[in-house]
Amino acid sequence: MTADAALRCQALTVRYGRFTALDGFSYAFAPGRLYGIIGPNGAGKTTLMNVLVGGVRPSAGSVHIRETDVTGLRVPARARMGLGRSFQITRTFAGMTVFENLRLAAQASVFRRQPLWRSARTFPETAERARAMLATVGLEREADRPAEQLSHGDGRALELGLALMADPAVLLLDEPLAGVGHGALDRTTDLLARVSAGRTVLLIEHNMSAVMRLAETVLVMMDGKLIAQGDPAAMRRDPRVREAYLGSDA
Amino acid sequence: MTGRTRLIAVTLLVAALAVVLALTGVGAERLLLLNLVLVYAVFAVGYDLAFGVAGLLSLGHAAFFGLGAYLLANLTLRAHWPFEAALLAAGIGGGVLAAAVGGVALRLTGIFFALVTLAFGQLCFILAGNHLRAWTGGLDGISGVPRPVLFGLDFASDRLFLLYTAVVFAILLLVAARLRASPFGQVVAGIRLNPVRIEQLGWRTNRFRVAIFAVSGFYAGIAGALQASLLFFASPQIIEWTTSGDVLIMTVLGGAGTLFGPVVGAAAFELLRDELSRLTDRWYGLLGLVFVLVTIFAPGGIMGGAGRLLRRARP
Amino acid sequence: MNILIIGLSLAAMLFLLSAGLTLIFGMGGIINFAHGSFYMLGAYGGFQVIDSTGSFWLALVLAPLGGAAVGVLVERLALRPVYNREPFVQMLLTFGVILILEEGVRAVWGLDYKDVSAPAVLAAPVHVLGATVSAFRLFLIAFGAAMAALLFLVLEKTPVGTVVRAASADPEMVRALGIDVGLVRTGVFAFGTGLAALAGAVTAPLFPVELGMGFGVIIDCFVVVVIGGLGSIKGAVAASLLLGLVRAGGYGFAPEWVDLLSYCLLIAVLLLRPHGLFGRQRRLA
């Protein structure tokens, strides 16, 4: 390892009763790279993500952000250290418009203490950031639509916008293409490529062609363990990977 | 001036108008009712900060309400504090108790949170009735709670006291409106809509929850103090869980999660109680029936239903 | 000896009440605040039957049937329309139901409280192990124990019990099996309210029958149901015994502190073991 890792995990293990969801997972994610994480269902990918952001406490092992041990920190503290995340099931604010969703997210980076007395509409800083993000994720025309009325693809774009609002150095994407229709697939993949520039990205995705196109390094997980890693082309040929998939999915 | 603040300005004007009307035109027997509406409107507006905005279902607000009543009674009658200082202390007391209860109970969510607040409320009810008699007057309560005197003006009559409650109500409604619209209020609303996302954005949800719960307790304390002053009496009865049920019913009846819904709900609750009790002895049951029907058929309460009708009427 | 008898009879009553409450909760997650009102309804119903026919035993049959019938109405008319809304809406509706039931009782029986005397067979005290105890309380204990045994048998050994348990664990699965979940829900709710009414009728000779008698009792029920673990009948038995004995003992030594203590217990259990002292701790992901 030459430079400090952006995110490093050390022998992470998560047990639920007798079931081991994550089994001694260690890896150092280098700054600015895009990692694709693949593996059959139940391989521990989402558990890994939950442990990395602080939502699940590991039974053993540690997590480091830029070599600071954050194992004892909860989700909000890690988020403030530059760890962003998009969820597999979109976690947007139903009942607020798309613009209001993004403006609320912008408040996290604009204010140290949330103002109590002025209307949230009257702060130009948050409005500007929200508008810029609308443009980035391509939702300008949906700005005033309630979040719960968005099409699936647009909901995904908003989810991504919320995760990007704090400009995280490390971005964890949990199946950002799940359920996105054929028409929007290329657009969303392009969007992922664009917003990943300059960040460390961990991408969990079942859509193989997207992973092969986006990822610089592919990690293959099975039964809670890292079983192989390398560049996408090598992983595609790797017999262990084939076995992992054919063994459980076929 | 944004649309929302304009709306508030208009409402305050209407409220002021209503007060002027009350001072000149309304018969004496209606004055107590109007006073009660304003007192419970304060209670319900504060309750909705926790329930409608933050999504916290509390069944223990009777305790904060009751603490406000007893604080005012004791501070004015025994410690001889000025009324306004005692009123403020009642609010702060309600807020502090709410912060303490919330701080402990917010380890839990949903129905379990509701049950813990219920248990805390009943604990306070028992304490007030049986254990802190020196301070609460036991089951007899404390009578002779004073009305305010300000700038040489004695608010002893229901007519003048209405002026006083209207001013307190207007101030607290305005504060609630600003708080809800503020960035802080938006984060709290976000917690109700999606707590997981709020945490992922870097906010600790429970700090905001405890804060809004304390503000809600402040409103309850003020309302309890005003009620004791209005009725010249602080009674342990108001701490029983049914008081928490009443304020919840008012809030839902009027429309939870809206600024004016709880006000409308408090008015509807008290007016129904008054009107129905004039027409029939069965008013409480009818109130229950109205409440059940509104809950089933108008999910947004009276305000939600009115909003839908308006939208339908528009071309 | 007397404290033991009083404690056990109190436990019997608490069990009858909270078994219904916990079943209803287990079924649909409904916190039925009106449960105390069904208890009151049962007490008044029991009074009416005894007043008209003179038979305490007939009251024990008719009062729960009446409570169940009202339960069917409440479930069908008020709760069913809101099963798809947020869970607290059902709880809110039960608040409205309290107002309606209290009013109904006031309309039929008026404001005065009613006295019900124990049946003649059980009126005289009996001597057990050298102590003089109330025969009626002994009967209550036996009755509560018999009902608990019956409930176990029905829930654990009969097909009906299997369906009820399955429907509370996984309604979708049961629906897929072609069972009318709506009917099961109505049935369980009616059964629960019937049990509450039975508790009201069978204990009517012990307490004055009056309006508002359900308000205090509902809180005790919550204590039992929470300590026993929401939805657990076994837990309800254990928690009823615990609370009944503690209360009876407490009344003897420090009556002022009994209520206080039970609420503290409730709070402690909720905070430390929200799934009850006897329930299995479910993992909250």
Q: Which residue has the higher pLDDT, C122 or B46?
A: B46
Q: Does C274 touch chain B (CB under 8 A)?
A: yes
Digit-coded pLDDT (tens) for C52-62? 888 888 888 88
% of residues, chain C, pLDDT over 90: 9
- Judge contact between C242 and C265, C-beta under 8 A: no
Q: Please tell me the predicted confidence (pLDDT) of residue B92.
A: 97
Mean pLDDT of A179-197: 86
Q: Does C254 touch chain B (CB under 8 A)?
A: no
Distance from CA of B190 to the nearest CA of A (A): 6
User: For residues C7 and B172, what is the distance between their CA atoms, to the nearest angstrom?
Assistant: 50
Of the pLDDT bands very low, low, confident and very high (cuts 50, 70, 90), residue A25 is very high
The DSSP element (H or E) to which C14 belongs, if any, is: helix C2-28
Residues, chain B: 315
* Bridge pairing between strands C125-128 and C131-134: antiparallel
Distance from CA of B279 to the nearest CA of A (A): 41
User: For residues B40 and B36, what is the distance between their CA atoms, to the nearest angstrom?
Assistant: 6
Of the pLDDT bands very low, low, confident and very high (cuts 50, 70, 90), residue A74 is very high
Whether B76 is covered by a domain: the verdict is yes
Of the pLDDT bands very low, low, confident and very high (cuts 50, 70, 90), residue B23 is low
Of the pLDDT bands very low, low, confident and very high (cuts 50, 70, 90), residue C158 is confident
Q: Which residue has the tokens 């081991």?
A: A20
Lowest mean per-residue pLDDT among B62-76, B119-133, C243-257: C243-257
User: For residues C35 and A234, what is the distance between their CA atoms, to the nearest angstrom?
Assistant: 66
Do C88 and B111 count as a contact with CB atoms less than 8 A apart? yes
Digit-coded pLDDT (tens) for A137-149? 989 899 999 999 9
Q: Which residue has the higher pLDDT, C207 or B64?
A: B64
Phi, psi of B106 (to 5 degrees): -75, 5
Q: How far apart are the first and last CA of chain A?
A: 37
Query: Which residues lie across from A84 on neighbouring strands?
Result: A171
Mean pLDDT of B261-289: 81
Phi, psi of A31 (to 5 degrees): -60, 140
Of the pLDDT bands very low, low, confident and very high (cuts 50, 70, 90), residue B21 is low
Q: What single letter denotes the amino acid at residue C189?
A: F
Mean pLDDT of C225-248: 84
Q: Please tell me the predicted confidence (pLDDT) of residue B89.
A: 97
Lowest mean per-residue pLDDT among B48-52, B116-120, B240-244, C28-32: C28-32
User: For residues C45 and C64, what is the distance between their CA atoms, to the nearest angstrom?
Assistant: 9
Q: Please tell me the predicted confidence (pLDDT) of residue C278.
A: 67
User: For residues B39 and B165, what is the distance between their CA atoms, to the nearest angstrom?
Assistant: 7
Distance from CA of C265 to the nearest CA of B (A): 10
Q: Which residue has the higher pLDDT, B21 or A221?
A: A221
Radius of gyration of chain A (CA): 19
3-state SS of chain B is: CCHHHHHHHHHHHHHHHHHHHHHHCCCHHHHHHHHHHHHHHHHHHHHHHHHHHCCCCCCCHHHHHHHHHHHHHHHHHCCCCCHHHHHHHHHHHHHHHHHHHHHHHCCCCHHHHHHHHHHHHHHHHHHHHHHCHHHHCHHHCEECCCCCEECCEECCCHHHHHHHHHHHHHHHHHHHHHHHHCHHHHHHHHHHHCHHHHHHCCCCHHHHHHHHHHHHHHHHHHHHHHHHHHHCEECHHHHCHHHHHHHHHHHHHHCCCCCCHHHHHHHHHHHHHHHHHHHCCCHHHHHHHHHHHHHHHCCCHHHHHHHHHHHHHCC
Per the prediction, chain B carries an average pLDDT of 87
Lowest mean per-residue pLDDT among A185-194, B25-34, B115-124: B25-34
User: For residues B229 and B251, what is the distance between their CA atoms, to the nearest angstrom?
Assistant: 23
Residues, chain A: 250
Contacts of C222 in chain B (CB under 8 A): 115, 118-119
Q: What single letter denotes the amino acid at residue B171?
A: I
Q: What single letter denotes the amino acid at residue C164?
A: V
Q: Which domains does chain A have, with CATH numbers?
A: 1-82+168-250 (3.40.50.300), 94-167 (no CATH)
Residue of B nearest to C95 (CA): B245
Give the other-Cβ count within 10 Å of C234's Cβ: 15
Structure tokens at C42: 């049962």
Whether B304 is covered by a domain: the verdict is no
At residue C49, does pLDDT exceed 70? yes
Q: Please tell me the predicted confidence (pLDDT) of residue B314.
A: 57
Digit-coded pLDDT (tens) for C168-223? 777 777 788 878 888 888 888 999 999 999 999 888 888 878 887 887 788 888 88
Of the pLDDT bands very low, low, confident and very high (cuts 50, 70, 90), residue A204 is very high
- Judge contact between B234 and B70, C-beta under 8 A: yes
Q: Does C280 touch chain B (CB under 8 A)?
A: no
% of residues, chain B, pLDDT over 90: 49
Question: Which of these, C83, C109, C79, C115, lies nearest to C94 by C-alpha position?
Answer: C79
Lowest mean per-residue pLDDT among A3-7, A47-51, C100-104, C229-233: C229-233
At residue C285, does pLDDT exceed 50? no
User: For residues B42 and B166, what is the distance between their CA atoms, to the nearest angstrom?
Assistant: 10
Mean pLDDT of C54-81: 88
Edge-to-edge strands, sheet with A200-204: A83-86, A170-174, A200-204, A34-38, A217-222, A225-230
Q: Please give the distance of CA A142 from its chain centroid, rounded to a whole number.
A: 23
Chains that touch B (3 or more CB pairs under 8 A): A, C
Q: Please tell me the predicted confidence (pLDDT) of residue A217.
A: 92
- Supply the ipTM of this predicted assembly: 0.90
Structure tokens at A68: 């600071």
Per the prediction, chain A carries an average pLDDT of 88
Query: Which residues lie across from C127 on neighbouring strands?
Result: C132
Q: Which residue has the higher pLDDT, B285 or A218?
A: A218
Q: Which residue has the higher pLDDT, B3 or C198?
A: C198
E-state strands within chain C: 125-128, 131-134
Lowest mean per-residue pLDDT among B45-49, B132-136, B240-244, C121-125: C121-125
At residue A248, does pLDDT exceed 80? no
Q: Please tell me the predicted confidence (pLDDT) of residue C73.
A: 92
At residue A179, does pLDDT exceed 60? yes
Mean pLDDT of A148-153: 88
User: For residues A22 and A16, what is the distance between their CA atoms, to the nearest angstrom?
Assistant: 10
Whether B210 is covered by a domain: the verdict is yes
Per the prediction, chain C carries an average pLDDT of 83
Mean pLDDT of A196-223: 90
CA angle B114, B117, B118 (to 5 degrees): 85
Chain A residues whose C-beta sits inside 8 Å of any chain B C-beta: 53, 55, 74-77, 79-80, 84-85, 87, 91-96, 100, 103-105, 107-108, 111, 114-123, 126, 162-163, 165-166
Distance from CA of B192 to the nearest CA of A (A): 9
Of the pLDDT bands very low, low, confident and very high (cuts 50, 70, 90), residue A83 is very high
Q: Please tell me the predicted confidence (pLDDT) of residue B19.
A: 67
Q: Please tell me the predicted confidence (pLDDT) of residue B206.
A: 93
Do B183 and A91 count as a contact with CB atoms less than 8 A apart? no
Distance from CA of C130 to the nearest CA of B (A): 36
User: For residues A97 and A18, what is the distance between their CA atoms, to the nearest angstrom?
Assistant: 44
Mean pLDDT of C73-93: 85
Q: Please tell me the predicted confidence (pLDDT) of residue C282.
A: 42
Angle formed by the axes of helices B283-297 and C87-109, nearest 10°: 160
Lowest mean per-residue pLDDT among B73-77, B180-184, C103-107: C103-107
- SS3 of A207, please? coil
HSE-up (13 A, CA, CB side) for residue A218: 23
Structure tokens at C2: 């007397």
Whether B138 is covered by a domain: the verdict is yes
Structure tokens at A188: 């969303």
Structural domain including B226 reads 3-240
Do B285 and C107 count as a contact with CB atoms less than 8 A apart? yes
Q: Please tell me the predicted confidence (pLDDT) of residue C272.
A: 84
Q: Please tell me the predicted confidence (pLDDT) of residue A250.
A: 36
Give residues with Cβ within 8 angstroms of C268, minimum separation 6: none
Residue of C nearest to B116 (CA): C267
Contacts of A96 in chain B (CB under 8 A): 189-190, 193
Question: Which of these, C112, C30, C263, lies nearest to B239 by C-alpha position?
Answer: C263
Nearest to C215 among B242, B295, B296 (CB): B242
Chains that touch C (3 or more CB pairs under 8 A): B
Contacts of B131 in chain C (CB under 8 A): 256, 260
Of the pLDDT bands very low, low, confident and very high (cuts 50, 70, 90), residue C283 is very low
Q: Please tell me the predicted confidence (pLDDT) of residue A249.
A: 44
Of the pLDDT bands very low, low, confident and very high (cuts 50, 70, 90), residue B195 is very high
Do A123 and B204 count as a contact with CB atoms less than 8 A apart? no
Alpha-helical runs (H) found in A27-74: 45-53
Q: Please tell me the predicted confidence (pLDDT) of residue A80.
A: 93
Lowest mean per-residue pLDDT among B126-140, B215-229, B242-256: B126-140
Of the pLDDT bands very low, low, confident and very high (cuts 50, 70, 90), residue B280 is low
Question: Which of these, C273, B152, A71, lies nearest to C265 by C-alpha position?
Answer: C273
Domains of chain B: total: 1
Give the other-Cβ count within 10 Å of A245's Cβ: 16
User: For residues B67 and B104, what is the distance between their CA atoms, to the nearest angstrom?
Assistant: 18
Q: Please tell me the predicted confidence (pLDDT) of residue B39.
A: 95
Q: Which residue has the higher pLDDT, B53 or C138?
A: B53
Mean pLDDT of B184-212: 95
Distance from CA of B298 to the nearest CA of C (A): 11
Do B181 and A105 count as a contact with CB atoms less than 8 A apart? no
User: For residues B1 and B4, what is the distance between their CA atoms, to the nearest angstrom?
Assistant: 8
Of the pLDDT bands very low, low, confident and very high (cuts 50, 70, 90), residue C162 is confident
User: For residues A224 and A25, what is the distance between their CA atoms, to the nearest angstrom?
Assistant: 7
Mean pLDDT of B286-304: 85
Q: Please tell me the predicted confidence (pLDDT) of residue B10.
A: 63
Digit-coded pLDDT (tens) for B27-46? 777 788 889 999 999 999 99
Question: Which of these, B43, B78, B70, B69, lies nearest to B58 by C-alpha position?
Answer: B43
Q: Which residue has the higher pLDDT, C204 or A125?
A: A125
Give residues with Cβ within 8 angstroms of B109, minimum separation 6: none
Of the pLDDT bands very low, low, confident and very high (cuts 50, 70, 90), residue B2 is low
Q: What is the DSSP letter of C80?
A: G
Q: Please tell me the predicted confidence (pLDDT) of residue B31.
A: 84
Nearest to C256 among B104, B130, B299 (CB): B130
Give the other-Cβ count within 10 Å of A64's Cβ: 17
Q: Which residue has the higher pLDDT, B158 or A124?
A: A124
> Between chain B and chain C, how many beta carbons pairs sit less than 8 Å apart?
109
At residue B6, does pLDDT exceed 70? no
Q: Could you please report the per-residue DSSP string of C102-153?
A: HHHHHHHH-SS-B--PPPHHHHSEEEETTEEEEHHHHHHHHHHHHHHHHHHH
At residue B315, does pLDDT exceed 60? no
Q: Please give the distance of CA B179 from its chain centroid, rounded to a whole number.
A: 16
